[in-house]
Chains A and B, each alone.
Chain A
Amino acid sequence: EPEVTQTPSHQVTQMGQEVILRCVPISNHLYFYWYRQILGQKVEFLVSFYNNEISEKSEIFDDQFSVERPDGSNFTLKIRSTKLEDSAMYFCAIQGGREETQYFGPGTRLLVL
């Protein structure tokens, strides 16, 4: 099973601040995804990223969100100006191993105060 790590594991930030969440797959992958889970709710798709471009994004993924792969390995999710409602668990996923299967990282718990 492909391995994915995410940093930081926890982040606390003030409303209006920028945060960058990082995803590091252990081996090379082309397909990346971000999901989020607000506490007590279901997991929601944010964005998919293939070959250094966004391939799909949800209505949640508005202008304050961006993704990039700055150095060919790390995959980042940036939230430009955080809001209270951005507090959630953010999961990175990669497609790999078995066909059409997404494997999730351990998540970053973001708390916006």
Chain B
Amino acid sequence: AQTVTQSQPEMSVQEAETVTLSCTYDTSESDYYLFWYKQPPSRQMILVIRQEAYKQQNATENRFSVNFQKAAKSFSLKISDSQLGDAAMYFCAYLNRDDKIIFGKGTRLHILP
């Protein structure tokens, strides 16, 4: 069974600075998808970024980018120019062959003004 581990329960970053959230996963599959979802206080789950495992190039979406290290099974999220609206819970997620998403426990990100 696949597992997703987020080792940082909470992080803080100054507004306009850059922060990196860590995620590691364990799987025996070779093809899969990885995601970061954001959950603000409203508790809605918002897709931030996705990565296909067969692609070596790291995904980017505006201020959000990932560092995908397939051999190390690592998938970190970098947020550049942090904004107050980025404050949320961030979940790393793995999509397995059965179309089931497995989530990490989340990292709560605080943005300091």
Contacts and interface: CB of A to CB of B under 8 A. Distances in A.
A43 B100 contact: no
A42 B91 contact: yes
B99 A104 contact: no
B1 to A, nearest CB: 11
Interface string A1-32: 10000000000000000000000000000010
A109 B103 CA distance: 19
A104 B37 CA distance: 10
Q: Which of B35, B100, B102 has the most CB of A within 10 A?
A: B100
A1 B42 contact: no
Interface of A: 1, 31, 33, 35, 37, 41-45, 48, 55-56, 58, 89, 91, 93, 95, 98, 100-104, 106-107, 109
A107 B99 contact: no
Contacts of A41: 105
Main secondary structure of the interface of B (DSSP, over half): strand
A97 to B, nearest CB: 9
A48 B98 contact: yes
Contacts of A109: 43
Contact of B100 (A42, A48, A89): A48
Interface residues of B, number: 22
Contacts of A55: 98-99
Given A42-B105, A42-B106, A101-B50, A95 B43 contact: no
B44 interface: yes
Interface in B38-80: 42-47, 50, 52
Given A42-B105, A106-B44, A107-B43, A98 B100 contact: no
Given A101-B35, A104-B37, A43 B99 contact: no
Contacts of B101: 33, 35, 43, 45, 93, 102
A26 to B, nearest CB: 16
Interface string B85-113: 00000010001001111111110000000
